[in-house]
Every structure is written in structure tokens, then in C-alpha cells.
Amino acid sequence: MPLRNGPGGYGVVTKVLHWVTVVALVVQFLLGYGIEAASELLTGTDDSDHDEAAVFVHGWLGGGILVLTALRLVWRTTTPLPPWSDRLTSADRKVESWIERALYVLLCWIPLSGMALLLASGEVRDVAEDGEWVPPLDLVDDDVLLGLHVAGHVLFYVALAIHVGLAVRRRTLSRMW
């Protein structure tokens, strides 16, 4: 299998970047939605200070997803795409083209809004018995930033459902295996 995309389909690099992103997102969403359970699992305690500390692990993972997204965008712009699947209609191709753009935007929006929550909301977090995290900036209310972060999740799930739904409906999933 070639490293780069070509007439025969997606290359190894594209497929690896795709599936590493999928795995990173699954881990990130599980950690984010289950931050208390994840914190208890990692620390062996249900101390809320550890929950706050786990938020920073969540933040670092978000940063990793942002870097991964940047790598994907660089790769996407420097390697040709394989031809469209014959199973996709003209309308399917337009939808998929727009969904790809939306997913890239959301793969940046979600981590950036999460980082803004940690760095620009002014919300002080207890991270240990005697320790506090004081954000360097207090620019935007944390409720506004949380709303943007959650809205990013909702839009991501909608875009993902369309993306996966189209691939399942048109039986093109095998192109990314």
C-alpha cells in the first residue's frame, strides 16, 4: 500500500492520521464526559481537586488533537486526493466536501474553546489540597466559553453523523481501512 493517496485510493499516511484522530477523539470525549470517573480511576480517590486536575489532562489531549489536526491539514494540502468513489452521487460529493471542511473547523474549534476555558475565563481551579490554578487572563465569562465548547460538540456530532451516515449508506467505508 502506498504512503501517499493516489488513483488506487487513500494512502497509509492519510489512513493512519484519520484513525489516530478517531481514537484520540474517542479517548478525549470519554475523558471529558466522564472526568469525575476518570479522575477517580487514575487517582483512586473521589476528591474534587483531582477532578479539576484531570481537566488539565483533558486540555493537554485537546492540544494534541489540535496538533494532529494541523498535521492532517498540512498532509491534506500537500498530497492529492484519490478519485471520488463511483458510489457517491454529485450531491453526495458536495455534501462530503462541505462536511470535511466543517469537521476540520470543529476539530480546531472544540480544543481552542476548551483551552480558552482554562486560560481566558478567569475561573480559578483547585488542583491540589493547597494549590490553585489562576488563569493568566480573564477575558470572557466561563459560561459563554462553556456554551461555545458544548455547541462545538453538538455541531461535531451532527457533522460526524452526516459523514459516517453517507459512508455507510453509500458503502464507502472500506476506502479508509
pTM metric for this prediction: 0.89
- Given a cut of 90, is residue 41 above it in pLDDT? no
Determine the average pLDDT of the residues in 81-102.
96
3-state SS, one letter per residue, for the chain: CCCCCECCECCHHHHHHHHHHHHHHHHHHHHHHCHHHHHHHHHCCCCHHHHHHHHHHHHHHHHHHHHHHHHHHHHHHHCCCCCCCCCCCHHHHHHHHHHHHHHHHHHHHHHHHHHHHHHCECCCEEEECCEEECCCCECCCHHHHHHHHHHHHHHHHHHHHHHHHHHHHCCCHHHHC
User: What is the model's pLDDT at position 79?
Assistant: 93
**Which pLDDT tens digit goes with each residue over 66-78?**
999 999 999 999 9
